[in-house]
Structure 1
Amino acid sequence: MMKQFMHVGVPTDKIMEGAVYAEAIKTYIVAPETNEFNIEYLRFEKDTPLPKELQTMVHVAYKVDDLDEQVKANTVVVEPWFADENTRLAFIMKDGILMELMEVK
């Protein structure tokens, strides 16, 4: 099963330059490809629908070739959903670590 490191997601309460607002999840996101260490900064609105784990824990993101298979084998924090027409995401907890799994068409 292929897994490729993508980024580290870091919750922040700081207003970050270059952040883009994702209205559906009420979150400001600094894309990981905009900085040298592939850090994705996330600043959440108070009424974000995302779970506390995402708002408080650092996560590690991997691209996987079979999202459904990976989700089955782990504790799901956020069920699979389409971030855009080509990318499906899910968040799992494995060995106490929050992980984002991405399947890209």
Structure 2
Amino acid sequence: MKDTVKYEFHHFGIPLQDGKEEGVFSEKAGMYTVDNPGKFRVQWHRFTDNSPLHPLLKTVPHVAFKVDNLEDAIRGEEIILGPYEPIDDYFVAVINDCGVPIELIQTTLSDDELWGRARTGQGSLYRK
């Protein structure tokens, strides 16, 4: 963590290798995403055999933090994904923090707007 960046918990992602094909699918990422129906923001991620994502994302749970300055947050870090805009007005990069993927997010979307867009597959991550 950097003193110049404000970090706020956003969600937790858990990769699964159970062979199921359920949830919102991204062909670009080779990934299915399902939101946990509970009170806390947990997502389940399943990957196709040919998913281009970094092996850490496909095998190790990740925590995501909303940051006030994505550029500062990733400066000097080992970036394993992004930065990119998978959903309109939702900028993301994933860093490798000693073997743990950490997702960093910068957005002006409310959580309701963001989760609504993600659940309905809105954004460049879901366009072919």
Could you tell me the TM-score, scaled by structure 2's length?
0.72
Q: How many residues align?
A: 103
- Consecutive unaligned residues in structure 2, runs of 5 or more: 109-128
Which residue does the alignment assign to 1:57? 60
Task: Compute the RMSD of aligned alpha carbons.
Answer: 1.7
> Contact 1:16/1:30 (CA < 8 Å) preserved in 2?
no
Q: In structure 2, how many angstroms separate the alpha carbons of the residues matched to 1:96 and 1:21?
A: 26
Pair 26,16 (structure 1): closer, same or farther in 2 beyond 3 Å: closer
Structure-1 residue corresponding to 2:24: 20
Unaligned runs of 5+ in 1: none
1:40-92 C-alpha deviation (Å, 9 max, x unpaired)? 10000011111101001110000011111111132211120111111011100
Equivalent position of 2:8 in the other structure: 4
Q: Which residue in the other structure is 1:98 paired with?
A: 101
The yes-or-no answer on 1:75 pairing with 2:78 is: yes
Give 4+ residue runs of structure 1 displaced > 6 Å after superposition.
none
Equivalent pair of 1:7/1:40 in contact (CA under 8 Å)? yes
Could you tell me the percent identity over the aligned residues? Answer: 28
The TM-score with structure 1 as length reference comes to 0.87
How far off is 1:31 after superposition?
A: 2.8
